[in-house]
């Protein structure tokens, strides 16, 4: 009787295993879970766009002036008071320091999707309109983001999201 139950349990597990295994993401999907980016070629004031999990991620090497403008902005002037940083609690305030990494405040890393209707804001290219606050501008509906990626004007309800990322060296970050 015990051996029959054990035999049935092994048979059930052998039958269910392929069904459970097929629900796991395949290797190509798991490879997209994180990506490393070399920051060395990005000069001060320049920005690049990389793709992570099918989304554009904006990486900007901010100038001291851009950092100062963002740091000097009173929180009361912000539309969205949340940092929207996946590495911090949801209610963390939207200070410039809460949207960057300590000691690496010149590097701003954000998901480049407007929080209004999912457009991709302008501001990555040196020739792009950067809006009224010198950051990013979504021409589709007129949302203006500052030099920390915080919504300042327009219909977008939230700041641009800061994805999980870390510095693996002084010149390389890993997103995801």
Residues noted as catalytic: 141
Dist. CA 142–CA 138, nearest whole Å: 5
Any residues with CB less than 8 A from the CB of 83 and at least 6 apart, and which?
Answer: 92, 93, 94, 95, 98, 99, 159, 162
Dist. CA 113–CA 87, nearest whole Å: 18
Q: Identify whether the C-beta of residue 140 lies closer than 8 Å to the C-beta of residue 159.
A: no
Any residues with CB less than 8 A from the CB of 138 and at least 6 apart, and which?
Answer: 114, 116, 119, 120, 121, 122, 144, 145, 154, 156
């Amino acid at each position: 009787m015990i051996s029959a139950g054990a035999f049935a349990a092994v048979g059930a597990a052998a039958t269910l295993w392929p069904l459970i295994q097929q629900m796991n993401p395949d290797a190509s999907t798991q490879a997209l879970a994180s990506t490393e980016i070399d920051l060395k070629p990005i000069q001060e004031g320049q920005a690049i766009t990389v793709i992570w999990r099918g989304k554009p991620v904006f990486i900007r090497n901010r100038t001291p002036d851009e950092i100062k403008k963002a740091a000097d902005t009173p929180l009361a002037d912000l539309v969205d008071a949340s940092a929207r940083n996946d590495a911090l609690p949801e209610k963390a305030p939207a200070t410039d320091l809460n949207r960057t990494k300590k000691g690496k405040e010149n590097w701003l890393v954000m998901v480049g999707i407007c929080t209004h209707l999912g457009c991709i804001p302008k501001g990555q290219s040196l020739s792009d309109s950067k809006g009224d606050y010198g950051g990013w501008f979504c021409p589709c509906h007129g949302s203006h983001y500052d030099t920390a990626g915080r919504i300042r004007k327009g219909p977008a309800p939230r700041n641009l999201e800061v994805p999980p990322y870390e510095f693996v060296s002084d010149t390389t970050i890993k997103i995801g």
